[in-house]
Structure 1
Amino acid sequence: MDNPKIVWGIIGCGDVTEKKSGPAFNRINNSQLLAVMRRDAVKAADYATRHQVPLWYSEADDLLDNIDLNAIYVATPPSSHLAYALSALRKGKFVYVEKPVTLNAIEAETLLQEVKESGGKLVVAHYRRQLPLFLKVKELVEGGEIGELRTVQLRLWQSRTPDLVTKGAGDWRTDPAVSGGGYFFDLAPHQLDLMLYFFGMPVSYDGFSLIQDKESAVADQTTGTILFENQLVFNGSWCFNVAKENQVDKVEIVGSLGHITFSIFGNSVVVKTRDGEKEFIFDHPENIQLPMISRTVDYFSGIGPNPSPIEEAVVLMKIIDDFSTIRQ
């Protein structure tokens, strides 16, 4: 017996769905994008027309009530992730939800409890886990390429209008009621989730944030440390108020025999050991979430593991909450 087709509806067909994710649903075997929803009916209809999606809605409940849909992609800002994900799970739908999974760890734990009680399936869109670049980093780390792991140093320093953020879409990210806490909440989940993916669960973590620009409603400086079970120490620094010429996106994993350097938002990995230096360059997929969505379809179809479970996202949100504690 063939596995049932995964038939998708998108709640929130905004910028992230235009290229990163939306087109991928129809490029995967056993997957179809049938419907989209956006509160602005004109924009919802326009998206459906441009992407050849058969149905569109301006009310989420109308989309969720469509019995032909068995999977929902929640692609709204974080403030509404919990409500939409809970509604979808309670209607028996599979759920793929954007990062950060919720506004905070308490909401993430609520979502985890619903998954357990309902027996539903939910995947968090930490899509970098499935990109070849980061699979290569994981392979190098686990293969002992740089020996025993010692420390990880991460820096993400950006200007007040980060180059890494989609132009014209910054306002909600600096509204804590909608985003949870500024650019750190938008960009750091990618980075910190990869640390958990590479190195496992933490033993302890501690951090803090500052509002250096007193006119800002959200933190623009964050620092944090994580201790992993193998005694690997992670140090992270996020700053969103530097000059353009001081912007940096760099991760360095240092071991007893060498180090691995890469950018979370770049396309290359450099490995340096006593034997010399090697660089691996990768082309990301046109629809960058396609590999993760493909693994998600496999999981929903019952032929693969969960590529990004809510249990791990809860730990991630606890770390983010800790690092986001504002110091006066």
Structure 2
Amino acid sequence: MRNRLGDARMARLRWGLIGCGDVARKRVAEALQRAKGSELVAACRRDPQALEAFCREFDVPRGYCDAEELLNDEGVDAVYIATPVVYHEPLTVAAAQRGKHVLVEKPMARSTAECDRMIAACEDAGVLLGVAYYRRFYPVVRRIEELLEGGAIGRPLAAAIVTANPFDLRPGEEGYWRVVPELGGGGALMDIGSHRIDLLLHWFGPLEDVKAHVATVAAEYECENCASLTMRLARGVHAQLLCLFGTPGDPDSCAIWGTAGQLECTPLNSGTLRIRTQSGERIERHPPASNYNVPLVEDFVDAVRRGGMPRVTGREGRETNRVIERAYREAGMRWRADRSNR
């Protein structure tokens, strides 16, 4: 397979979008069109009527009901995979074998074993693999990184994040797959917790240990809607994460404590950062882009053109899956954790 990295002469990266559901309609399709050096040229959805409506809404020139046909389209340079998680691995491997770069939705896969096969396929083919943890590109997340590295709050000691979602979908409704273990790999921890785990690993280093409680409380589906993790990370930081499905609101809090101060960003999506140090308190505002996915896509396009790596690589996506897998195992959720041993 020809190595397709580092083609600075490429006028625009031509994208094929596989999966045209909720996240694709809300952000992904627009991001693939708006991002610098990017062009959405093809889309795939199994429902022909829904596909036709999607292509018409977003002015996509080619539509396919079969992913294999899109992957065989020589006019597609890269694919964005926005399907249920169960399809991430086979589609990534198939895309890599056809020489196409891959940007895959989070979580990267249902298990680290699936992640490993995705990474190997892309490395063997000489194509890029990125994971859509778009919060890495929030200006406030980068500002927190700067403050931590600059010692603004001294040595970091602990962090706490709470995230929740009403999740009031019913069986048969679009998106319900997120609580079907065979399709999504888990529940609240896998779906919304993965974003926050990615940030904690990015700020404070790899996981050393995790204690977890995972349960289904007042919910009628099989996956967990309550998950609480206490993690010890490589830089000595203790981190707590609480993930919930089924709440009336969607709390989104993040706090970090150090030996000389505290950082608080609540809600994280707002970009409002409260900085408390021995010299006083101040508030900074670093709002995210109007479309969260645009910076993510632009970073990936730039990586392809310059022959570098995207900000969120497949190996980093795997580390988030490793934390989730260990948490499920620690909590006794063997039916999910054992996927890694298939």
TM-score (structure 1 length as normaliser)? 0.91
For 1:289-328, list aligned pairs within 5 A. Answer: 289-302=293-306, 304-325=308-329, 326-327=331-332
CA contact (8 A) 1:191 1:264 kept: no
Query: Amino acid of the residue matched to residue 178 of structure 1?
Result: L
Contact 2:95 2:102 in 1 (8 A): yes
Alignment match of 2:127 (pick from 100, 120, 131): 120
SS at 2:297's partner residue?
Answer: helix
How many pairs are equivalent?
A: 321
- Work out whether 1:230 is the aligned partner of 2:235: yes
Task: Give CA deviations for 1:13-32 in whole Å, capped at 9, x if unaligned.
Answer: 11112232211222233221
Task: Indicate yes or no: 2:134 matched with 1:148.
Answer: no
CA distance in 2, matches of 1:6, 1:200: 32
Percent identical among aligned pairs is 26
1:239 aligns with 2:264: no
Post-superposition offset of 1:272: 1.1
- Check conservation: 1:174, 1:217, Cα contact below 8 A: yes
d(CA) in 1 for partners of 2:60, 2:167: 36
CA offset at residue 267 of structure 1? Answer: 2.9
TM-score w.r.t. length of structure 2 = 0.87
CA distance in 2, matches of 1:161, 1:147: 42
Q: Which residue of 2 aligns with 1:135?
A: 142
Partners in 2 of 1:309 and 1:206 — Cα distance?
A: 26
Contact preservation (8 Å) 1:223, 1:323: no
SS of equivalent residue, structure 2 residue 94? helix
1:176 to 169, 172, 181: 181
More helix by share: 2
Aligned pair partner of 1:194 in 186, 196, 199: 199
1:3 corresponding residue in structure 2: 9
Residue pair 2:190, 2:324 contacting (<8 A) in 1 also = yes
Gap change, CA 1:208 and 1:62, over 3 Å in 2: same
In structure 1, list runs of 5 or more residues that go unmatched. Answer: 163-167
Within-5 A mapping of 1:17-36: 17-36=24-43
What's 1:254 paired with?
Answer: 257
Q: In structure 2, list runs of 5 or more residues that go unmatched.
A: 1-6, 334-342
Please say if residues 210 and 327 of structure 1, whose CA atoms lie closer than 8 Å, have aligned partners that are also in contact.
no
Specify the code of the residue in structure 1 equivalent to 2:100.
Answer: K
Q: Deviations over 1:218-237 (max 9, x none)?
A: 11221212222221111222
Report the RMSD for the aligned CA atoms in angstroms: 2.1
Q: Distance in 1 between matches of 2:243 and 2:76?
A: 40
Question: Which residue identity is paired with 1:67?
Answer: E
Deviation at 1:148, TM superposition (A): 0.7
Aligned to 1:165: none
SS for the counterpart of 1:272 is strand
- How far did 1:214 drift? 7.0
- Displacement of 1:160 in angstroms is 5.6
Shifted more, 265-274 versus 311-320: the winner is 265-274
Distance 1:40 1:158, change over 3 A: closer
Query: CA separation in 1, counterparts of 2:137 and 2:91?
Result: 25
State the Cα deviation string for residues 176-200 of structure 1 (Å, max 9, x = none): 1111112321111110001111122
Question: How far, CA to CA, are the matches of 1:276 and 1:19 in structure 2?
Answer: 40
Partner of 1:14: 21
**2:65 maps to what in 1?**
58
